[in-house]
Chains A and B, each alone.
Chain A
Amino acid sequence: MILNMGPHHPSTHGVLRLILEIDGENIVRIMPDIGYLHTGIEKTCEAKFYQQVVPLTDRIDYLCPLTNNLCYVLAVEKLLGLEIPPKAQWMRVMLNELTRINSHLVWLGTHALDIGAMTVFLYCFREREDILRLFEMVSGQRMMTSYFRIGGLALEPPLGFFERVQDFAKRFPSKVDEYENLLTGNPIWGMRTKGVARITAEDAILLGASGPTLRGSGVDFDLRRDIPYSGYENFKFKVPVSQDGDVFARYMCRVQEMRESIAMVQQAVDGMPEGPIKAVAPKVILPDREMMKTQMEALIYHFKIITEGFAVPAGEVYQAVESPRGEMGYYVVSDGTAKPYRIHMRSACLANLQALPSMCEGRLLADVVAAIGSIDIVLGEIDR
């Protein structure tokens, strides 16, 4: 029998349509059908100035806007050859780790809800609210932050921000214990997740899986540690790896990642360097308001950047960062003008979704729900 799951199904986290060929309760074949959320962001980018692309990157993966901001600005900074001051780099790392926790909290809540553990959802969204308030404090927006700019940060972090982050970092580890108390030892959770939707390390690599989906299968690879960017080499953290390759292994990876991330946030607060938040490049970075009102040069540059953009030397760059879902990559091609010639986003979810059929075929229909949750898909990122 052919069964349609989605595009409007509560467990598909967006608008994913799965065409299931089933024999009784068993899955014979799965065909994911995507594209319902395609908005042509890559095409839109080609018509914008480089600095105007930053807000578009928020909207690709709406659960980790700052990670997308970071990946894009790193790619353009590499094209320009800009040196970013340490404070901006540390702020970027700190906010990225908060974003990772934020994204994992949404994942954990909805994944548990899919499998039937209702309470976890409420607990997770409680802490997520705290993180969103931090984002609002620093960038003025809860979700579509656009806080990173080419060459640095948009604004100085406000007074009292680091105290708030510190406060959250102190509280959060005990909250992770709470989630784990609800799930990790829970026999029902174990039965729904252990041994379900297995994928081997070889298959995961061949299928292009990345992030916790790859590490859950025992491949010890994390871009933050192995190909560091934005000052990650200054931080001490462990990369959680599980060997089983099932839904439970991916769950454990992400929960451990939350603990590592909050430790990194703490390190970032403790060691936050002093200094400027923007690189020295007046033709690329908007001047401060104060300078604009007192210096002719600054006013001219401001006018030029806003009206004409800035030219980026011709070339191409592929920059990848470890997003909460895996390898998020931006391939930016410049032809020497003020608008990007081509921007391609390598979506971690798109590749992870390809692993879904091999995880589920031959298993029960109910396991598909657990498997979709375990690869943590965001359809905005898949369809772009």
Chain B
Amino acid sequence: MPLQPAITDLEQLKNHPAVAKLMAWNPAAVEGAKFDRDEMSIYLERSCIRDACVLLREDADCPFNYLADVTCVDWFPSEPRFEVVYHLLSISRKERVRLKVRLEGSSPALDSVTAVWPAANYFEREVFDLFGVRFSGHPYLRRLLMPEDWEGHPLRKDYPVEGYR
């Protein structure tokens, strides 16, 4: 199957349950959307992430009730540098959606979704550990994989593969 070009026009994507729900709630929260390789990504405004997650989880028709994953991508040196990526799954509708929040490079921070899904606890700690993104409202934001006294955040692109020697 040859690749189809990605659809980024919000008008065309309005029928997707998650996009429709978020647009009806707060059009300013949705910065953009992308439908590529059968996967839906929605770019959200940074301050809306927690409320948007509650909204999507509580949706009556298509509840995205399962948080599969939280991770981050570092687009160093371009700005906004970080993209925090949430993968949600609707167990009843068997549908996935990806939420993305863009963050600037200097002291990146956003709201934690641990209050919405306790599952986010380790995922967010891992992102904090490896990328240095802070999650406000997280109950225990400490390093998860690296030692407590480690310097730097290894998965950042300006961190050398061999580490600092």
Which positions in A face B, CB cutoff 8 Å? Answer: 34-35, 38, 40, 42-44, 46-47, 78-81, 83, 205-208, 219, 221, 226-227, 313, 315-318, 320, 327, 329, 331, 333, 341-342, 344, 346, 350-351, 353-354, 383-384
* Contact (A318, B96) CB under 8 Å given A34-B144, A329-B87, A354-B122: yes
Chain A proximity mask over B117-132: 1 for CB below 8 Å, otherwise 0: 1110111001000100
When chains A and B are docked, how far (Å) is the Cα of A320 from the Cα of B96? 11
Question: Residue B118 contacts which of A80, A206, A318, A383 (CB distance < 8 angstroms)?
Answer: A206
For the complex, is B85 an interface residue (Cβ under 8 Å from A)?
yes
Give, as a whole number of angstroms, the nearest-CB distance from B140 to chain A.
9
CB atoms of A353 and B68 under 8 A apart = no
User: In the complex, are the beta carbons of B3 and A313 less than 8 A apart?
Assistant: yes
**B161 touching A208 by the CB < 8 A rule?**
no
Tell me whether B117 and A79 are in contact (CB under 8 A). no
On whether the beta carbons of B145 and A38 are closer than 8 Å, the reply is yes
- In the assembled complex, B155 has its CB within 8 A of some CB on chain A: yes
Q: Which residue of B lies closest to A44 (CB)?
A: B161
| Closest CB pairs A-B (n = 10) | A208-B119, A35-B145, A81-B3, A346-B69, A344-B71, A38-B145, A226-B94, A342-B73, A47-B161, A207-B119
Which residues of the partner chain A approach B67 to less than 8 Å between Cβ atoms?
A: 208
Residues of B within 8 A of A42 (CB): 130, 155
Known: A83-B1, A346-B68. A331 touches B87 (CB 8 A): yes
Q: Which residues of B contact A383 (CB under 8 A)?
A: 145
A150 to B41, CA, bound (A): 25
Whether B87 pairs with A318 at a CB distance below 8 angstroms is yes
B37 within 8 A of A: yes
Residue in chain A with minimal CB distance to B73: A342
Of the candidates B2, B87, B147, the one having the most CB atoms from chain A within 10 angstroms of its own CB is B87
For B, the interface residue count at a CB cutoff of 8 angstroms equals 39
Chain B residues lying within 8 Å of A227, measured Cβ to Cβ, are 94, 96
Please name all residues of chain A whose beta carbon is closer than 8 Å to the beta carbon of B118 when the two chains form the complex: 206-208, 354
Which secondary structure dominates chain A's binding surface? mixed
Interfacial chain B residues near A207, Cβ < 8 Å: 117-119
- Residue in contact with B39 in the complex, picked from A221, A317, A350, CB distance below 8 Å: A317
Question: Is the pair B69, A219 in contact by a Cβ cutoff of 8 Å?
Answer: no
Verify A315–B144 contact, CB threshold 8 A. no
Question: How far, in whole Å, are A75 and B144 apart by their CA atoms in the complex?
Answer: 26
A35/B122 contact (C-beta < 8 A), A42-B155, A78-B37, A331-B71 known: no
- B8 contacts chain A at the CB level, 8 A cutoff: no
User: Can you list 21 A-B pairs with a CB-CB distance of less than 8 A?
Assistant: A38-B145, A43-B159, A46-B161, A81-B37, A83-B1, A206-B118, A208-B118, A208-B119, A219-B91, A313-B3, A317-B39, A318-B39, A329-B69, A333-B73, A342-B73, A344-B69, A344-B71, A346-B69, A354-B119, A354-B122, A383-B145
Instruction: Return the CB mask of B1-23 against A: 1 if under 8 Å, else 0.
Output: 11100100000000000000000
